[in-house]
Amino acid sequence: MNPAKPTGRPRSVVILLALLTCSALVGCEGGGGGTASPGVGTVGGAVAGAGVSRAVFGNSSSAMLIGGAVGGLAGNMTLDRQAEERRRQQAVEDRRTAQQLQLDFERQRALQEEQTRLEIEEQRLFREWQRERTGS
């Protein structure tokens, strides 16, 4: 057994497991919930990258650091930035909804004011008509 390779697994199996781990990490993003804390993708990517580097290159500290950095960047690009974009889009949609509700409220208020004005005018005209009729 070679000391540089602590396990007897073939290199292709280790690489396949590393790719599956990265795919699972990216697949978690597809949930669309956007409820994860900011930075989860970066941290998850760094951990996955360090683990993949360790599995592929052995216990090399520099390889694990480089793998962690690359994985962190990948996690940030795939998960964190997309989640931030979803949060921004949701905020814009919320503002539009609030503006539409305010506009609907103002329209309804104006219609009610006009209806009240018309009713007051009708009452005034009716009283005037009654006075003319009884006064004649």
CB 72: neighbour CB atoms within 10 A? 22
122/128 Cα distance (integer angstroms): 10
116/118 Cα distance (integer angstroms): 5
- From the list 66, 60, 53, the residue with the least C-alpha distance to 17 is 53
Question: Is this model's pTM higher than 0.75 or not?
Answer: no
CA angle 38, 40, 42 (to 5 degrees): 100
- Structure confidence at residue 63 (pLDDT): 67
- Structure confidence at residue 85 (pLDDT): 85
Helices (H), the chain: 11-29, 40-57, 61-75, 81-135
Q: What DSSP state is assigned to residue 3?
A: T
73/66 Cα distance (integer angstroms): 11
Per-residue pLDDT tens digits of the chain, which is 136 residues long: 454 545 555 555 556 556 556 555 555 544 444 445 666 666 777 667 776 666 666 666 666 677 777 777 777 777 777 778 888 999 999 999 999 999 999 999 999 999 999 999 999 999 999 999 987 6
